[in-house]
Amino acid sequence: MNLLPSIPLFRLFLFCALALSVSERGVAQSDNLPAAREPAGPVTNDSAPASAAAGPRVTFNSVHVDGPYVAMTFDDGPNATLTPKLLDLLAAHLMKVTFFVVGENAAEYPEIVKRAAREGHEIANHSWSHPNLGKMGDDAVRRELQKTDDAIRAAIGVRPTLMRPPYGSITARQKEWINDSFGYKIIIWDVDPLDWKRPGPSVVTRRILEETRPGSIILAHAIHPSTLEAMPTTFDQLEARGLKFVTVSELIAMARPLPPKAAASAPPARRSRPAGAPQEDTVAPAQPSPAIPNG
């Protein structure tokens, strides 16, 4: 029998088997190589640390509470004439509120700040000169907050635990480092009567009544006469609804978890406005983005 014709076939089979073995070893080796790293994207100011989601809540627009409680807040004071009148009105209503003071004003009128604290109101940080913190570097923001912190402590002997950024302008990253550095909770609002536009006392009252619900944080300004004129009727009508006034820290202490459906459908703050209008009776701040609300 002639075996020669089968020899080329045998060699072909042997060559294919060797090639398959080499190919499988190559695949196995490639599986053990480290994965190629894609270049990291830029980190923006709004990027919060990955651990933030697991930590305690830092920012509050409103608070979910079981009872009929709301927090009234007044920004930009103290004012030499209006704030004492407001304190008289609050005392008549047995109300406690939170004052977010501008550091320059607190340093100029420490006795008014001291009186507000003595009468049970909460004193909180609203920056030194009312700039747009969201457009500032960390060192400048730190100076704004620290100087105000010092002025409040000099007036009342204790540090504030809350801060409100002017215009509500603050980045997610700033919130985290401010909370880490100062221990502040960041307080925004969910009721805004746009009283800085001075629409008239009746309009301010109507807007607050329309938007306020249990757990609301109500924004107003302690430097506008028309705001002060609106407050007696506003307080009377809110009290007639059975609402009770507490400080922001007291409201936060009452917080209860949102039901799952309510948490998924919770509405954002219901009123915002373009910023950039100067704050009467204070130093005019830097002009923020038109999309940022005033405060």
Mean pLDDT of 160-187: 98
d(CA 280, CA 261): 42
Ordered by where they begin, the domains of the chain are 56-265 (3.20.20.370)
The values of phi and psi at residue 218, to 5°, are -100, 125
pLDDT score for 32? 36
Tens-place pLDDT, residues 135-171: 999 999 999 999 999 999 999 999 999 999 999 999 9
Whether residue 69 contacts residue 254, with contact meaning beta carbons closer than 8 Å, is answered with yes
Dihedral over Cα of 242, 246, 250, 251: its sign: positive
pLDDT score for 38? 28
Dihedral over Cα of 105, 107, 111, 117: its sign: positive
Burial of 50 (0-12, 13-18, 19+ CB in 10 A): exposed
pLDDT at 28 over 80: no
Dihedral over Cα of 237, 242, 247, 251: its sign: negative
pTM for the model stands at 0.74
What confidence category does residue 39 fall into, taking pLDDT thresholds of 50, 70 and 90?
A: very low
The values of phi and psi at residue 268, to 5°, are -70, 175
**The amino acid at 288:** P
Give the dihedral of Cα atoms 182, 224, 272, 192; nearest 10 deg. Answer: 80
Tell me, rounded to whole angstroms, the distance of Cα 123 from its chain centroid: 17
pLDDT score for 278? 35
Catalytic site positions: 75, 221
Q: Pick the range with the lowest mean pLDDT from 42-56, 114-128, 171-185.
A: 42-56
